[in-house]
Structure 1
Amino acid sequence: MAFFFQLVSLSSTSPSIYIPFKYTNIITHSSFPPTQTSSSSFNLFQPSLNLFIKFQNLQEIMLSAKVTCNSHGQDSSYFLGWEEYEKNPYDEVKNPDGIIQMGLAENQLSFDLLESWLESNPQPAAFKKHNDQSIFKELALFQDYHGLPAFKNALVKFMSEIRGNTVSFDPNNLVLTAGATSANETLMFCLADPGDAFLIPTPYYPGFDRDLKWRTGAEIVPIHCSSLNGFRITKSALEEAYKQAEKQNLKVKGVLVTNPSNPLGTSLSLHELDLLVNFITSKNIHLISDEIYSGTVFSSPSFISIMEVLKTRNLMNTEIAKRVHIVYSLSKDLGLPGFRIGAIYSNDELVVSAATKMSSFGLISSQTQYLLSEILSDKKFTQTYLSENRRRLKERHDMLVKGLQKSGGIRCLESNAGLFCWVDMRHLLSSKTFEGEMELWKKIVYEVGLNISPGSSCHCSEPGWFRVCFANMAEETLVLAMQRVTSFVDSMVVKKNNQSRHQQLLLNNRNSRRTKSLPKWVFELSFNQREVAADER
C-alpha cells in the first residue's frame, strides 16, 4: 500500500501537492528555516497527517536540473505539429478529414524491394545461416561493443557504393550507434565541453536543438544563409557566425553541416565543401558532416562526400583529416528508422575510442546487425535498390513540386535530394514577419489539415518558408494533400479579392459622401482663393 503526505501551501491560492511517503526522508526540519518548523507549522506523527509547510519548489528537490530545464528543444513548432497530428491523424477510412502528416522525413517508397529480398532470403530474418543452421543463441548472448565485424564491413562498403566507390572507409574507424541522433550527440560529448559552440548553417534540422544541446550543454550559433543565393554557404556567413560566437564569449569547437541538407533538399557544392575545409583549417576547429541523406540524391549535381574532398586535396593522412567526422545512418537511405542504425566515422583514434565506450549506452542489437549485414552484402540487391529508390524519390518530388505550382503558384527551392521540399509561401503571409508565418502555419495545420514544418522551427532567417515531406505517404494521400492546398489557396484569393473590393467600395463611398457634404460656398471660396493665388504669382 502506498502512503502519501499532503503538502498544503500556506498560500490560499496554491493547490495541495501529494508527496509519496518514500520521499519524505528529504523533508526534514533542517530543510526549512526555524520559523517554519514550529509545531504550529507542521507535525510528522504519521503518514496520513497533513503536512503544513511553506515550500518553494518541490521539483528542485526531487528532480535534476537537466529534467526541469527547458533546453530540450521539443517546445518547437516542429514537434508541436507532430502532437496535433497524433491527436487527429488522417486515415482514408476511419478519419478522412484528419491531419495528413507531411512533417515526417520518412522514406516509405521502397519497402516492397526490401520485403521482396526477405521473401527470397528467409534465413537471415529467422536467425539462420544459409545452411539453415540456427545462430539464435550466438546472437542472443553478449556481443562485442565494437559491433559485429561482418556488419561493419558491409556498412562501410555500402557507404562507398553510395559515393560511387570514389572513397573507401576503414571499418576500424567506424563507431556504431543507435541512430544518427545518438551519433551526433556522442560526437558533441567527444568534441565539446558544456558552453562550447558549434556553428550550423540555417535553415537546419529542428531536432539539432535537442540532439546537440540538451544533455551535452553545447551551444549552437547559426550561420545565416539567404534565399538570394539558394541558401548556399558563403565565406562571409561563416566569418560572421564565428564573430557572433566570440561576442557571446563562446568557444567555437566546430561546424556541423547536413549534406544533403535537411530541410533544403540540396547537396553541398564542391566550392562550399572547399570553403568549409579552409575555414576549419584556419580556425583550428572540427567539421561534422551529417551525410544520412547521401543515398537519396536523385538528380544532378551528384553527391560529394567530405571524404572525397580530403582525398582530392591529399589531406587524408593529415591533422586536418582528424578533425573531420562523418555521421551516417540507414534511416533515410534504406527507410529503416525503427531499426536504429547509426554510425560515426572518424580518422581520430581518440574520438573513435571514446565514442566506442560511449556507444555502450545505445547499442544496436546483434539480431539487427546480422540481418542487415546479409542485406548489405548482397551487392546485386543494393545496386538495384539504390537506383530504383532514387527514381521513385524523383518521381514523388516532381509530383509535389508540380502540384504546389498548380495550387496558386506555390514554388519550391530547386533541389536534388532528400525526402522533402523547401517550399516558398511568402506570398501567402498576412505580414512579412515570423508572426505572419506562424499564423499561416496554424491555418495549414488546423484548417487545411496538413502538418508541415515552418521555417522558423528550422531557424530560417526569412519568414514564409516551409519544409514539406513527400515520401512518407501513399501517392493517393499526396494527391489529396494537393487538393486541400488548392482549395485553401483559392479561398485565400477569393477572400483577398473580396477584401480589396470592400475596401475600394468604402473608399468610393467616403469620397462620395465628402463631396456631397461640402456646401456651395466652399467651392466658391476655393475658386476665389485660386484666383487670388494666381494674381499673387
Structure 2
Amino acid sequence: MADPESTTRVVKNPANTADPAKAESEPGTTAQGALSYVGWVDKNAEQTGNPSASGEPVLSVRSTRKEPPNPVMAKLGEMMQNLYRDDNPEGIISLGVAENSLMAKDLAQFYRLAFPKFFREQDLTYGDSMFASQRLTKALVKMYTHYLHPHYPLDKGHLAAGSGVYSTLNHLLHVLVNPGEGILISTPYYLGFDAMCTKRCGGVLVGVPMDIDEDGWETEGDVEKRMERALKECQSKGISVKVIIVTNPGNPIGRTLERETLLAYCRFAEKHNLHLVSDEIYALSVWDNPEIPNAVPYTSILNIDVERELGPTYSKKRLHVLHGMSKDFCSNGLRVGILISQHNPECIRAVMSIALFMKISSAADTLFYAILSSRAPALATDEADPAKICQAIQSACDSTDPLDSVDISDSFGAWFVAENRRRLTDSAAYMTRWFTDRGFRVYPANAGHFLWVDFADRLGWDTWEKELDGFNGLFAERIYIGPGSVFHSCKPGKMRVTFTVPRELMDKGLARLDGYLKSQ
C-alpha cells in the first residue's frame, strides 16, 4: 500500500516507461495513451515534517509535502485578484472558470426578494439537521425525483448535503478510500479532482486516457477495455483500486454519456467490486445544439434499473451520485453540494459522522429552498425583455402560497432551469460561431458551461510547451482561458473556453483574443 504521507505529484509517464515513479514529472501533462498519476509515492522525497534540530516547531509531513510548481494555478490566483470590472477595465477577463453568469441579474433579484420571506429565526441556530434543513431536504427529494427520474423511489434518508460538491466528494472519498488506494477516472477531467481525491483521503488518482476518434476528439470508446488495462497497470505497481469516478455530463468535454457507456462503467465496477461515483453536477445544464440534433439525452445513474439490465445480483450499494447548487443554479459562491446514495445507509452514516466539517450555511440553505418552493414567474417561455422578467419575478415573490404547497414543476426553480437552458443554447452558439469563423475546430458539445476548442491546428500548439507558452501569451493580453494540460488532456493544444458570461463581457474577452491571434 502506498504511503499516505508521500509527495503528491502528477506524473508524465511516456509509453515506454514502465514505472511512473521514474518517469518525467511535469504538472498537468501526460504522454498520449499513458496513465497519469496524482498522489503517487515518492519514497525518496524529502520529509520536512520531522522535529527540527533547531527546536523550532514544524508542521506535519502531510502539510509540507513538496509538490511541483503549477504555473497555470498561479495565474488563476493572479487573475482572481485582478478581475475585469467596470472600475477595473484593465483587469483580466475570465473565459476559463466554469461560472454561469447568464442568469445572474435575475437570480440576484430573486434572492433579494425571497430571503426575507424564507429566512427564520431558527436559521440563526444550528438548525434541525446536521446536513441541510429538513425543509430543504424534502424539497430536494421532489426536485431530484422530477429531474433525475430515479428508478428506485428517492427518500430523504438517501441524501447528505455539504458545503459544495467539492467538499461533499472529499468527505465521500474519506469514507470510501484508504490511504494509498486507487481512484480511476477518464481523462480529460475536471482539474479539481486532483486535490479532492488525494489531499485528505490520501488516494491515488489514476487518469485513464480516452480513445481518440478519427477527427482527433476524445471519445469514451471501449470503456471496459480501457479500464481493464488501467487496472492491471495499477495492480502491477501495488495500487489497489477502490473507486471509479464518472462525470456525466462531462467536464471539460461538455457531452452527455450514452446509456450503454454508463452500463459499461457499472459492469466494470461490479466485476472488480469498486464503488462507482457519478458526478452529475451539470445534470440540469444540458442544452440544445443544432450541430448535433441527435445528441444523447442525459441519463442519470439513478435512472438505471441495474438489477434488470445487469443482473439480479448487482450490488446497488456501490452507486453514489453527486449534484449541487453551483452550476445548475448559477450560485458557485453559496456552496451547496448533495450526495445521493440510495442503497448504502452505512455510507450515509459514515459521512454523517463527519458532517459538521461541511455543514452548509443557513443562508445558502434558505436561498436554495426558496428556489424550489417559490412560484414560477408568469412569463412566456421565450420572454427576453429584462423589465418584464424583473416585474414577473417581483410578482412571484409577492405571492402568498403556503410553504411547501408549490409543485416543483410550477416552481421558480423549474422556470430558472428552462430559461437557463435557453440562454446556454444561445450563448454557446454565439461563441461557437466566433471560433469557427476564425478557423478553429470546436468539439460539438451539448452540456455544461464551456467549449472544448482545438488551438493546436489553428496556432500550432502541438506540444505541451507550446500550449503553456500560448496560455501565457493570452494571459499577457489579460484574458484567462483554461489550458488542456490542467485537465489532463490526451493531446496538447486543447483549451476549455467558458461561454456563460454576459454578452458584453464575452465580446470584450473575444476582442482581446482576436488581438492575440492577429499578433501571431
TM-score, normalised by the number of residues in structure 1: 0.74
1:122 to 1:194, Cα distance in 2 relative to 1, 3 A: closer
Per the TM alignment, residue 77 of structure 1 is displaced from its structure 2 partner at its CA by 4.3
Unaligned runs of 5+ in 2: 1-50, 289-294, 375-407
1:441 to 1:118, Cα distance in 2 relative to 1, 3 A: closer
Whether contact under 8 Å (1:203, 1:460) holds in the other structure is yes
Whether contact under 8 Å (2:151, 2:305) holds in the other structure is no
2:340 equivalent in structure 1: 345
RMSD: 2.5
Which 4+ runs in 1 deviate beyond 6 A? none
Match of 1:412 among 438, 442, 448: 442
**How far apart, CA to CA, are the structure 1 residues paired with 2:511 and 2:174?**
46
2:262 equivalent in structure 1: 273
**How far apart, CA to CA, are the structure 1 residues paired with 2:59 and 2:250?**
37
1:488 equivalent in structure 2: 516
1:273 to 1:454, Cα distance in 2 relative to 1, 3 A: same
Whether contact under 8 Å (2:482, 2:497) holds in the other structure is yes
For residues 350-499 of structure 1, what are the structure 2 equivalents within 5 Å? 350-378=346-374, 379=408, 380=410, 381-406=412-437, 408-430=438-460, 432-446=462-476, 448-471=477-500, 473-492=501-520
**How far apart, CA to CA, are the structure 2 residues paired with 1:137 and 1:482?**
47
**How far apart, CA to CA, are the structure 2 residues paired with 1:120 and 1:163?**
29
1:439 to 1:226, Cα distance in 2 relative to 1, 3 A: farther
Whether contact under 8 Å (2:99, 2:327) holds in the other structure is yes
Q: Which amino acid aligns with 2:235?
A: E
Verify: 1:96 aligned to 2:54, yes or no. Answer: no
| Aligned partner of residue 421 in structure 1, secondary structure | strand
1:181 to 1:395, Cα distance in 2 relative to 1, 3 A: same
1:81 equivalent in structure 2: 75
Q: Which amino acid aligns with 2:281?
A: I
Match of 1:244 among 233, 243, 247: 233
1:136 to 1:382, Cα distance in 2 relative to 1, 3 A: same
1:284-334 CA deviation, whole Å, 9 max, x = no partner? 111100011101001243211011123583679865211010011111010
Q: Which amino acid aligns with 2:297?
A: S
For residues 108-507 of structure 1, what are the structure 2 equivalents within 5 Å? 108-118=101-111, 121=114, 123-125=116-118, 127=119, 135-137=120-122, 139-163=124-148, 168-228=153-213, 230-233=217-220, 234=222, 235-299=224-288, 300-310=295-305, 313=308, 320-346=315-341, 347-378=343-374, 379=408, 380=410, 381-406=412-437, 408-430=438-460, 432-446=462-476, 448-471=477-500, 473-492=501-520
Q: Which amino acid aligns with 1:236?
A: K
Higher mean alpha-carbon deviation, 413-422 vs 377-386, is at 377-386
1:496 equivalent in structure 2: none
**How far apart, CA to CA, are the structure 2 residues paired with 1:86 and 1:237?**
37
Unaligned runs of 5+ in 1: 1-30, 33-53, 128-134, 493-537
Per the TM alignment, residue 384 of structure 1 is displaced from its structure 2 partner at its CA by 1.3
1:490-513 CA deviation, whole Å, 9 max, x = no partner? 332xxxxxxxxxxxxxxxxxxxxx
Calculate percent identity across the aligned residue pairs. Answer: 29
For residues 39-78 of structure 1, what are the structure 2 equivalents within 5 Å? 55=54, 61-70=57-66, 75-78=69-72
Whether contact under 8 Å (2:245, 2:278) holds in the other structure is yes
2:404 equivalent in structure 1: none
Q: Which amino acid aligns with 1:79?
A: M
Per the TM alignment, residue 137 of structure 1 is displaced from its structure 2 partner at its CA by 3.8
Q: Which amino acid aligns with 1:184?
A: L
Q: Which amino acid aligns with 1:441?
A: F
Higher mean alpha-carbon deviation, 115-124 vs 224-233, is at 115-124
| Aligned partner of residue 497 in structure 2, secondary structure | strand
| Aligned partner of residue 156 in structure 1, secondary structure | helix
1:135-162 CA deviation, whole Å, 9 max, x = no partner? 3146425533143221111112212322
1:239-275 CA deviation, whole Å, 9 max, x = no partner? 2221221122100002101111111111111121011
Q: Which amino acid aligns with 1:450?
A: I
Per the TM alignment, residue 440 of structure 1 is displaced from its structure 2 partner at its CA by 1.2
Per the TM alignment, residue 215 of structure 1 is displaced from its structure 2 partner at its CA by 1.1
| Aligned partner of residue 516 in structure 2, secondary structure | helix
Whether contact under 8 Å (1:124, 1:370) holds in the other structure is no
Whether contact under 8 Å (2:131, 2:359) holds in the other structure is no
The structure whose RCO (Cα within 8 Å, separation 6+) is larger is 2
**How far apart, CA to CA, are the structure 2 residues paired with 1:318 and 1:113?**
48
**How far apart, CA to CA, are the structure 2 residues paired with 1:86 and 1:113?**
24
Whether contact under 8 Å (2:439, 2:458) holds in the other structure is no
**How far apart, CA to CA, are the structure 2 residues paired with 1:165 and 1:277?**
16
Whether contact under 8 Å (2:253, 2:452) holds in the other structure is yes
**How far apart, CA to CA, are the structure 1 residues paired with 2:212 and 2:426?**
25
Q: Which amino acid aligns with 1:124?
A: K
Q: Which amino acid aligns with 2:486?
A: S
| Aligned partner of residue 198 in structure 1, secondary structure | strand
Per the TM alignment, residue 375 of structure 1 is displaced from its structure 2 partner at its CA by 2.3
1:417 to 1:312, Cα distance in 2 relative to 1, 3 A: farther
Q: Which amino acid aligns with 2:489?
A: C
Q: Which has the larger radius of gyration?
A: 1
| Aligned partner of residue 326 in structure 1, secondary structure | strand
Match of 1:107 among 92, 97, 100: 100
Per the TM alignment, residue 365 of structure 1 is displaced from its structure 2 partner at its CA by 2.2
**How far apart, CA to CA, are the structure 2 residues paired with 1:311 and 1:260?**
20
2:402 equivalent in structure 1: none
Whether contact under 8 Å (1:103, 1:469) holds in the other structure is yes
**How far apart, CA to CA, are the structure 1 residues paired with 2:345 and 2:311?**
14
**How far apart, CA to CA, are the structure 1 residues paired with 2:84 and 2:126?**
42
Whether contact under 8 Å (1:160, 1:167) holds in the other structure is no
